[in-house]
Structure 1
Amino acid sequence: MQIFVARLAGTPVFDPAGDKIGRIRDVVTGLRGSRPPSVHGMVVEVQPRRRVFLPITRVRGIEAGAVVFTGRINVRRFEQRATETLVIGEMLDLTVSVYGRPVTVFDVAMAETSPSTWEITKVAVYRDKRRRDPAIVEWSEVSGFDILQEDQGAAGLIASFDSMRAADIAGALHDLPGKRRIEIARALDDERLAEILEELPPGDQITILGMLEPERAADVLEEMGPDDAADVLHDLSEEKAAELLALMEPREAAPVRRLLTYPSDTAGGMMTTEPVILPPSSTVAEALAHIRQQDLLPAVAAQVFVTRPPNETPTGAYLGVTHFQRLLRDPPSTLLGGVLDPSIDPIRPEFTLREVAFYLASYNLVAAPVVDELNRFVGAVTVDDVLDHLLPEDWRERSPS
């Protein structure tokens, strides 16, 4: 039975008791010259965002939509050895040769050649990338996998990312060699790259933005939330941050510039300037339509902030907040001015991280409204922003113990 590896990406992994313990993220092989590479095992992502190694000898079944293993899995974080190659991360998109003719790899197949022994046996290639002219050839017919390539491309790997969340892709990128990471970043569209950058550690963010053309880096920052863009610019040199801000569209740069005036560990530095804001004359039905938008994060969609016009930050006078649960209980025609929560007082931009965390915990909230000295609504601090700052700076780079 032939198993095409790229199709395994994201497949659930089950233990002998039938419990799902994670998902397949890659397959680990060892190149052996002209001989078919041996499959050492699989990289499995278990929660919370820890990548571990599952030896191929433990795999008892690979079926449609499931991989089943026996025994126990070692939860130590996977570390790739120098002699190992990741199929999805490093083989896809390579330009290799079939009888001297250049072709591009878009998948490889593995097969069980003897009990508990698997090898890479076939290679799926495009003979013409522009026309997507596919062919499946034997491993023995292919050469060039062991040659370092300056520009590998990224279409195949990006295709394997298609159904993954941005945080999972960020974890995969972080584990790739630096050269491969940059190739993928350059091939992603601005919106997708922005989503992934928001989930990467600061060091990776700086490296990737530094390898992009300044105009492209500015475009990506425009696609990020203003608070996330401000966090990235805080970590850059003053000269680089000023250059990228100057290249951003003025309308997109304005809220980022405002956020940069606050220390990063205060309410003003952590807040998002793009929560759901409506006037008191809007109805419950209109509010529900706004928070129903798919691109809103759950913490942002949990409440609607009500202000006098203008309804973009900094707004007119802040009037109050109404929560998702309250909106569900009232008739659709009810005006928002009549369903405000009178018990929630706003906070000021200078509130410290500790004060914001205490405020959210005291009132069991997922977001805190922030107003300036003129009682204008300037943003909202969400619980995920607070967690980002409470956790160690390198929390995205390491697994919890």
Structure 2
Amino acid sequence: MAVVTPRVFVSHLSGSAVFDPNGDPVGRLRDLVALLRVGARPPRLLGLVVEVISRRRIFVPMTRVTGIESGQIVITGVINMRRFEQRTSETLVLGELLDRRVRLVETDEEATVLDIGITRLPARRDWEIEKVFVRKGKGRGGALRRKGETLTVEWSAVTGFSLEEHGQGAESLLATFEQLRPADLAGVLHHLSAKRRGEVAAALDDARLADVLEELPEDDQLEIIGKLKDERVADVLEAMDPDDAADLLSELPDEDKERLLDLMRPEEAADVRRLMSYEERTAGGLMTTEPIVLRPDATVADALARVRDPDLSPALAAQVYVCRPPDETPTGKYLGLVHFQRLLRDPPFTLVSSIVDTDLPPLPPDTALTEVTSYLAAYNMVAAPVVDESGALLGAVTVDDVLDHLLPDDWRESELPAGGPAGLTGAGSRAEAPDGR
């Protein structure tokens, strides 16, 4: 009986769960590592880049892979838990091959790579790139022309992979990561080359890029916005949470900061300027200016409708703030807050003014970070109101913003404290691991 050799397209593998032989989760696939070879020989797959529970990215040799299917990957053996570092001879399949412009050997037409097909060699545990799924036609400005014919060809039927490409698009790569949370997509961008990171960031829409920037280390943020036009940067800053936009702008020279603020919508810029007027490690410097604000005559039903907003963070959705008009911060007189749990217990027609919690004292904007931390811990809160001397609500400090300032500056680049899966940690360096590399 003939042996059927499986073929898998890598876009279907992105983010797939990786399991050990017992069915215990190891992590998720973030990329594949290939070795390009001379001539038309198909590249050999060296291994997988797997993000384990601690957010560390490790290298798993293909010789450890016992099964690959859409949705899951099974590995075996002792895995070296040393952090993956790409070598100069290596190519990341998802990060560097997708969206590459190539030429079809037979017709000399230009095409763009949409996907890569990999296959396991018969009677061996080696894998190689076998097929390339392309769309004919030249991309314009990094985007793909939708009307171009698509086809799947052998690796040897295209040329152009060996050269570094300038102005490579990112549409196909982004499609493979469409379902990632902003923090996970930020992790993907952080591990790409600076060139590729800029190309992917430029291809994201403003809202998605804003979410991702909020999760990136400061150096990556500055690098990315430094490659964008000022008008685009201003649009992205408007889409960011005001406190995050203020933090980012505070790292820029005064001249650049003012130029970008002038390009922003006046009302958006006003919120950011106000936040930048406070000391960084105070309640005013930490707060967001966009909490849920309701008038006293609003009902529980009104409050729950606001809380359901999917764009709200869990911390901001945990409570609503009852204030007299105006509703935008700085508001009229702050009356108190209503916790989400209380909203669930009372009838929809109940006025929020009748169930407002007035016992919790608000924070002045000059409250130091240590006091804000103690306040949240003492009252078991995930957010706290910030009120000025006149009694107007200025904003709310959330626990995630407090943690951002309590953790080390490089915490986004660090691994989580959780260790890797039991039984998979191998001693020694990658050079010592029997990975055949």
Q: What range is the shorter-chain TM-score in? A: over 0.9
The amino acid that maps onto 2:112 is T
Which residue of the other structure, out of 142, 147, 164, is the alignment partner of 2:158?
142
* CA offset digits 1:27-55 (Å, max 9, x no partner): 11111122111111111122343222222
Which residue of the other structure, out of 359, 374, 385, is the alignment partner of 1:358?
374
Instruction: Please tell me whether the aligned partners of residues 77 and 399 of structure 1 are also in contact (alpha carbons under 8 angstroms).
Output: no
* CA offset digits 1:260-300 (Å, max 9, x no partner): 00111111111011011101111111100100111111111
Instruction: Please tell me whether the aligned partners of residues 230 and 260 of structure 1 are also in contact (alpha carbons under 8 angstroms).
Output: yes
Distance 2:78 2:71 in 1: 21
Q: Which moved more, 1:280-289 or 1:18-27?
A: 18-27
Instruction: Please tell me whether the aligned partners of residues 8 and 70 of structure 2 are also in contact (alpha carbons under 8 angstroms).
Output: no
Distance 2:68 2:194 in 1: 32
Q: Does 1:305 align with 2:313?
A: no
By how many angstroms is 1:102 displaced? 1.5
What runs of 5+ residues in structure 2 fail to find an aligned partner? 1-5, 138-143, 418-437
Q: Secondary structure at the match of 1:9?
A: coil
Q: Which residue of structure 1 lines up, in the alignment, with residue 428 of structure 2? A: none
Q: Which moved more, 1:328-337 or 1:19-28?
A: 19-28
Which residue of the other structure, out of 49, 58, 62, is the alignment partner of 1:56?
62
Instruction: Please tell me whether the aligned partners of residues 5 and 109 of structure 1 are also in contact (alpha carbons under 8 angstroms).
Output: yes
Distance 1:21 1:75 in 2: 11
Residues 38-187 of structure 1 mapped to structure 2, 5 A cutoff: 38-99=44-105, 100-114=108-122, 115-128=124-137, 129-130=144-145, 131-187=147-203
Q: Which residue of structure 2 lines up, in the alignment, with residue 190 of structure 1? A: 206
CA RMSD of aligned residues (A): 1.2
Instruction: Please tell me whether the aligned partners of residues 34 and 45 of structure 2 are also in contact (alpha carbons under 8 angstroms).
Output: yes
Instruction: Please tell me whether the aligned partners of residues 31 and 38 of structure 1 are also in contact (alpha carbons under 8 angstroms).
Output: yes
Instruction: Please tell me whether the aligned partners of residues 64 and 76 of structure 2 are also in contact (alpha carbons under 8 angstroms).
Output: yes
The amino acid that maps onto 2:317 is A
Report how many aligned residue pairs link the two structures. Answer: 401
Q: Secondary structure at the match of 2:315?
A: helix
Q: Which residue of structure 1 lines up, in the alignment, with residue 23 of structure 2? A: 18
Q: Secondary structure at the match of 2:68?
A: strand
The amino acid that maps onto 2:25 is K
By how many angstroms is 1:343 displaced? 2.7
* CA offset digits 1:68-123 (Å, max 9, x no partner): 11124333221111111000100011111111321111111111114210001111
Q: Which residue of structure 2 lines up, in the alignment, with residue 2 of structure 1? A: 7
By how many angstroms is 1:358 displaced? 0.9
Instruction: Please tell me whether the aligned partners of residues 10 and 24 of structure 1 are also in contact (alpha carbons under 8 angstroms).
Output: yes
Q: Which moved more, 1:57-66 or 1:167-176?
A: 57-66
By how many angstroms is 1:132 displaced? 3.7
Q: Secondary structure at the match of 1:108?
A: strand
Q: Which residue of structure 1 lines up, in the alignment, with residue 424 of structure 2? A: none
Residues 321-336 of structure 1 mapped to structure 2, 5 A cutoff: 321-336=337-352
The amino acid that maps onto 1:108 is I
Distance 1:72 1:370 in 2: 52
Structure holding more helix per residue: 1
Q: Which residue of structure 2 lines up, in the alignment, with residue 374 of structure 1? A: 390
Q: Which residue of structure 1 lines up, in the alignment, with residue 362 of structure 2? A: 346
Distance 1:304 1:14 in 2: 42
Which residue of the other structure, out of 309, 323, 336, is the alignment partner of 1:293?
309
Instruction: Please tell me whether the aligned partners of residues 49 and 168 of structure 1 are also in contact (alpha carbons under 8 angstroms).
Output: no
> Structure 1 residues 121, 201: CA separation in 2 closer, same or farther (over 3 Å shift)?
same
Q: Secondary structure at the match of 2:208?
A: helix
Q: Secondary structure at the match of 1:256?
A: helix
> Structure 1 residues 72, 322: CA separation in 2 closer, same or farther (over 3 Å shift)?
farther
Distance 1:291 1:154 in 2: 35
The amino acid that maps onto 1:299 is A
Instruction: Please tell me whether the aligned partners of residues 45 and 129 of structure 2 are also in contact (alpha carbons under 8 angstroms).
Output: yes
Higher relative contact order (CA 8 A, sep 6+): 2
Q: Which residue of structure 2 lines up, in the alignment, with residue 234 of structure 1? A: 250
Which residue of the other structure, out of 34, 45, 48, is the alignment partner of 1:29?
34
Give % identity.
57
Q: Secondary structure at the match of 1:245?
A: helix
Q: Which residue of structure 2 lines up, in the alignment, with residue 261 of structure 1? A: 277
Distance 1:74 1:230 in 2: 41
What runs of 5+ residues in structure 1 fail to find an aligned partner? none
By how many angstroms is 1:178 displaced? 0.6
Q: Which moved more, 1:17-26 or 1:81-90?
A: 17-26
TM-score of the superposition, structure 1-length normalised?
0.98
Instruction: Please tell me whether the aligned partners of residues 285 and 332 of structure 1 are also in contact (alpha carbons under 8 angstroms).
Output: yes
Q: Which moved more, 1:71-80 or 1:143-152?
A: 71-80
Distance 1:203 1:109 in 2: 35
Distance 1:132 1:194 in 2: 31
Instruction: Please tell me whether the aligned partners of residues 116 and 129 of structure 2 are also in contact (alpha carbons under 8 angstroms).
Output: yes
By how many angstroms is 1:314 displaced? 0.2
* CA offset digits 1:367-390 (Å, max 9, x no partner): 011001111100000000001111
Distance 1:72 1:253 in 2: 53
Q: Which runs of 4+ in 1 moved over 6 A?
A: none
By how many angstroms is 1:191 displaced? 0.9
